[in-house]
Amino acid sequence: MDSPVTIAAVQLCSTDDLRGNLATCRRLGEEAGAAGAQVIVLPECFAFLGAKEGDKMAHAEVIDAARPGPIMESLLDLAEHTGAVVIGGGMPETVPGDTRRAYNTAVVVAPGKGMVGRYRKLHLFDVDIPGGATLRESDGTAAGEAALVVAAHGLRMGVSICYDVRFPELYRRLWREGGADVLLVPAAFTAHTGAAHWHLLLRARAVEDQSYVVAAAQWGQHNEKRRSFGHSLVVDPWGTVVAERAEGDGIVIHTLDPELLARTRRNMPCGAHAVTLGAPPPITVVALD
């Protein structure tokens, strides 16, 4: 990261109204662009969030910038209109030969270049929380197989989606192998798990990987079964939350400071000290009974 880059995280409460959701994304994306955002991050499920996992199949698209569906077209239009790199933080992408499942795909588009990258969510959220949500993402979603880092404006961005944030090994690879300066976490975190772990996990990823973290979140009541935590935010490489929106549709915008990033990594050279960059060290298991 050579110079300051202004990045915006969009927060909204998506429903099963595709057209309405995309209109809200356009309005908030234009607001971010007018405020000087060079990168705009939309949350997971920005285009559609139904009551059941299978509902999204009606809107799953073959991701093709030359022949875009309505979701992809909205991303391309937003990038061209604002001049910003746009990350659609999670949309349903068709899986060839699979009529039951779609990929949960973050798509990166740039003005004048179209789609420049895609990331298919690696970790799928299957939980049954007593007194909380019961969700089985794998019922309607196929897992991806590869990580993604995208470079723009001299900034290297590691892309992830929501539940990925609980798996630090992914972010360590984005930082150490991919050279990421900022870790993007578009999400639709449930209200129950978000209240317990959202800030903790995002700040931990920032501290351990000495990177900015930008999290664009869903918020509020989507339907009778689903409520999201909100709290879109930016965390700096020292683990400080420097910008946040707790609830409501809107944007969180912050200019990333290359000197702070460099100073943090220089003063606390964790990358040079890590002993697992090559072969992992052996593990000794001691049994006392």
Whether residue 259 lies in the annotated active site: no
Give the type of residue at 27: R
Buried/exposed 20-52: b ≥16 CB within 10 Å, e otherwise:
ebbebbbebbebbbeeebbbbbbbbbbbbbbee
- Residue 288 pLDDT: 46
- Answer whether 159's CB lies under 8 Å from 149's CB: yes
- Residue 285 pLDDT: 58
Check 93, 121, 137, 244 and give the catalytic one.
121
Confidence band for 181, pLDDT divided at 50, 70 and 90 = very high
Evaluate if residue 277 carries a pLDDT over 60. Answer: no
Check 31, 44, 53, 93 and give the catalytic one.
44
Check 13, 25, 45, 162 and give the catalytic one.
162
Superfamily of domain 5-273, CATH level 4:
Carbon-nitrogen hydrolase (3.60.110.10)
User: Which of these ranges, 44-48, 161-165, 234-238, 269-273, has the smallest mean pLDDT?
Assistant: 269-273
CA gap 25, 11 in Å, rounded: 9
Whether residue 225 lies in the annotated active site: no
Q: Where are the beta strands (DSSP E) in the chain?
A: 5-11, 39-41, 85-95, 98-110, 114-120, 126-128, 134-136, 141-142, 148-152, 155-159, 182-184, 212-215, 219-223, 226-229, 232-235, 241-245, 250-256
- Residue 273 pLDDT: 86
User: Per-residue pLDDT tens for 59-95?
Assistant: 999 998 889 999 999 999 999 999 999 999 999 999 9
Radius of gyration of the chain (CA): 19
pTM (predicted TM-score): 0.93
- Residue 289 pLDDT: 38
User: Any idea where the domains of the chain sit in the sequence?
Assistant: 5-273
Whether residue 25 lies in the annotated active site: no
Which residue, among 105, 193, 104, has the nearest Cα to 140 in the 3D structure? 104
Confidence band for 53, pLDDT divided at 50, 70 and 90 = confident
**Averaged pLDDT, 252-272:** 95
